[in-house]
Chains A and B, each alone.
Chain A
Amino acid sequence: MHEIVTSGFLFPNDLHAHWSVMIVLYPYITGLVAGAFIVSSLYHVFGIKELKPVARFSLVAAFAFLLFACTPLLFHLGHPERALNIMLTPKFTSAMSGFGYIYSFYLVIVLLEIWFVYRPEIIRRARETQGPLKALYWCLALGSLNDTEAALALDHKIIKVLAAIGIPAACILHGYVGFLFGSLKSNPWWSSPLMPVIFLLSAIVSGISILIISYWLVCRFTSLKLDTACLTVMFKYLWAFFILDVALEGLELLTHIYESHEEWHIVSRMLSERLGFSFYILQLGICSVIPLIVLGFVVLKKMPDTIRIRLGLICSALILVQVLAMRWNVIVGGQLFSKSLRGLTSYTPGILGREGLLIALVLFVMPFVVMYVFNLILPLFNKETETQQQ
């Protein structure tokens, strides 16, 4: 146990931050889902052809992150065995209660879209393989090896519809996570109508960033050829969304400072005394300013592709840190001052333990393991067919 450092007067029940690093991880992973899904929809719905190389990958990434989106919550709950209560007896006046249903709905949408996208591939393998593998692919195809032209045309339409439904669903899924904090009138650092929008935009930028980095890493360490045009388009969208994201975060802070409500004195003290590094230096400073400027050059200026990619990758990594810092500053920051508005407490996550950093790290890595396993069964990137089509 880390020692808790307090200053000023805290209400006696305000000593501990109830929402730990697990609750920081939860919106972070959920955000990656939303962002990755938006990228796949840019291809499937909005027809951004350059994104074709990552269209499948982004969909599967969204699915993999989605699978683990609620695991941090299970590690945090006082009674994880009762977690299903949220679906058995949901009370919809609670922002949290929607989670079970929105999550399930979204999971079904993503699963279906993946299924339709991969159906030709599944069927082909069901025909070509033998033994247990054949059985596996046959099961994945739900026993229907129907790949007539009419069926595939129908599939194509359904994919479009699913992707179209998926966009608002992704926005709701993540906007609602922001609402969960933004709707709490008891907390001056959370209560803000901008919160859902900021969460949504930061979700999108973090999702695009993780796709950029993963895609580059896969190309770097396998024989897959990196598609520069695809990366460039992703940089473009990343920059556009990031401008909006940082602008809104800045506007929110500006409003707080300018209005200077009764609570602001303690919130500002909390920010400078407890989150000086993660808020001012990381979130607002290094990780916002550098990507904003450098991505601008990456997108607008002529330069050799290798340099463009290097710079873009650095910006993506910084943005991933920025979003993580933002989640931390919102969630932990909101609990570091007492509702007495007279005192500060501290929070340091442990390394081991149920809500420690080790488990957080494992939970964050698990989606990549899922992607790896998925890739063993069905390819994330389709080399042959893509070159054939072109």
Chain B
Amino acid sequence: MKTYDHIIRFTLLIIVAIIGFSIVRAYMVPDSFGMQGSYTYAYYRAESADEQAALPPAYQGTEHCADCHAPQASMLQANAHAQLDCESCHGSFKAHNNNTKDRMAVGDTVDACMLCHADLRARPAQFPQIESFAAHVAQQGDELLPGMTCATCHDPHAPM
């Protein structure tokens, strides 16, 4: 029996563990994982970026809406709300795809308009704001009638 017999045994044990781990590691690390540039900022699974790039967008933009709703789209773009997108008020196109044909009408309410046009101190002063719907109607010298909304006087696609 050699003096270092037991030391050889544990050394072998450690070597086996290291080799075992290396094999596990080789099989468990995805192929595209590695440095795609700087180690600090770009050490990752390259496929991840492409996977994310393939996610389906929900919002499609006014041009897409104009394929079917050209009159409204062109009216929108020619008037005071030109900076708005259809989906700014109507919500995402995803809720209106070919399968569901769900309608995307904006509830014809004062609240929908007041989200942007309520008078807030934090808003830029030149931005059109009204203190309240009733006050605005009174200011215009009109009578406040039941069922009246902003759309009674303003077409949201061409408000002014």
Contact = CB atoms under 8 A, between A and B. Distances in A.
Q: In the complex, A touching B, CB below 8 Å? A: yes
Interface of A: 84, 87-89, 91, 93, 108, 112, 115, 119, 141-144, 146, 148, 150-151, 154, 158
Given A84-B28, A108-B14, 9 more contacts: A88-B25, A89-B43, A93-B40, A142-B6, A142-B9, A146-B2, A146-B5, A150-B3, A151-B5
Nearest to A92: B39
Given A93-B40, A108-B14, A144 B5 contact: yes
Contacts of B40: 93
Contacts of B29: 88-89
- Leading 6 A-B pairs by shortest Cβ distance: A144-B6, A142-B9, A150-B3, A93-B40, A151-B3, A146-B6
Nearest to A111: B10
A142 B10 CA distance: 7
B39 A91 contact: yes
B23 to A, nearest CB: 12
A345 B71 CA distance: 51
Contacts of B33: 89
Contacts of A108: 14
A334 B51 CA distance: 35
5 contacts: A89-B43, A142-B6, A146-B5, A151-B3, A154-B7
Contacts of B39: 91, 93
Nearest to A115: B10
A88 B30 CA distance: 10
B1 to A, nearest CB: 5
DSSP class of B's interface residues: helix, strand, loop or mixed? helix
Interface residues of B, number: 20
Interface of B: 1-7, 9-10, 13-14, 21, 24-25, 28-29, 33, 39-40, 43
A158 B10 CA distance: 13
Nearest to A90: B43
A144 B14 contact: no
B130 to A, nearest CB: 28
Contact of B6 (A87, A91, A93, A141): A141
Contacts of A151: 3-6
A88 B29 CA distance: 7
Contacts of A158: 7
A91 B40 CA distance: 8
B13 A142 contact: yes
Nearest to B6: A144
Contacts of A84: 28
B1 A143 contact: no
A369 B137 CA distance: 78
Nearest to A123: B6
A143 B3 contact: no
Contact of A119 (B6, B13, B21): B6
Nearest to B8: A144
Contacts of A144: 1, 5-6, 9
Interface centre among A93, A108, A144 (most CB of B within 10 A): A144
